Structure 1
Amino acid sequence: MAEDAADVVHLLKGQKATLIEILRADADFVVQHAHSRYLVSDQGYEKIQSCRVPSEKVQELLDHVIWRGPEAAQGMLDLLKEKEIQETFPKLDFVKDLRVKTPLSVEESELQGPTPAKKALRKGCGRVTEKQLMIVAKGLGSNWRQIGIQALGIKNVKLEQIEEEKRTYVERVFAMLIYWSNRKKEKATAANLHSLLSQEDLGVPPESIECLLETD
């Protein structure tokens, strides 16, 4: 996709207040379009539709999309740029100009060297840090073993070993995440972990994995 995995979520989040103000004029219209493009899960759709106030419905929609991660956020931005949506909400014209800074070409990069923005981009796309894993470990619920098996693909035998070796709950979850990171190596990126933990049936609190979207 055009935008960087982590930055596209920050981009959508940064425009949330403005989008709520615009889209509340016909909240059902945009919700239906988002649902038809699978940007919203069936469970999320029901929760959104339970909101009576249009602005709250739009807020719930955007929060849900942001919670689902970079792919859904990119899909929402693409939807808002479509002709039918733009015609329904003329004030959305500014969305067409929203861009996350992309890397320079190879030639430009060699001439100018690494800029702060590019360093942040590399960091966001790099392996998840132990600091991030510890923050996540403190926020996961008591169903950490289910998360390990279902989302991270860790065998129950390994989780039992971790449970025996580590005394506290946070130590166990942290050890599980470290084990996953070591197994996945270069694929153990913050964006990848966020995507895995964002599965709705896991019940992971969005705020507990928000650090995985940070590039600073």
Structure 2
Amino acid sequence: MSEEPLTLVQVIRRLKVKLIEILSADADFVLQHADARSLLSPHGYQLVKSCRVPSEKVTELLDQIIQRGPTAAQGLLELLKDQALQETFPLLASVQELQANSVSPEVENNVSKRRKGAPESQDPPKKICSNGCALVKEKQLMMVAQAIGRSWREIGRLALGVPSVKLEQIEEDHSQHSERVFHMLRYWRHSQREEATAARLHSLLSQKNFDLAPENIAFLLETDEEHV
């Protein structure tokens, strides 16, 4: 009799010790990337951030994600495959479970239902899409860049998860403020790929006090037709 595949949360638990060892090399970098993808609740973010020892910070981060369930677990596994994380933590490439895992949260939820004897849904879950669900456009990035002031580096590090090294490179390559901010936003869009939606960018820029007026980024939630 073949074994059932591991659930997403079980994969994280199995890799926990190994991930703590690898990610403790730069725990803050991982935390900001996880926060940029909304893998943690606001309270969970503060709990992780308050940890002073890198290994404890990674341990708390993993525990928070495990508690949030399969969706957060899937988000972490996708984050660990991201190019920025792979480049920062080369040892992640040797973790075979990361490459082998391809289970989606929906599949895991269905498996859990079958184990509990719950009836399976006949129709696939519908995906609700808001006005800003489309990928953010370069024109919108330019408009956001013009709205961001001197706190652009803080926004890049804390809200968008852009590495400090990348911010320094952008600052050296571009002399004009708006160009620096624009290329920072383009880097974020490239790193997030299909998750780089206008609504997500609006959410990230709105979650902390970055001295960014809400009305200056409200256009990110408008319909695509208004910015064609």
Same fold (TM over 0.5): no
Higher RCO (C-alpha under 8 Å, 6+ residues apart)? 1
TM-score under structure 1 normalisation? 0.43
Calculate the TM-score normalised by the size of structure 2. Answer: 0.41
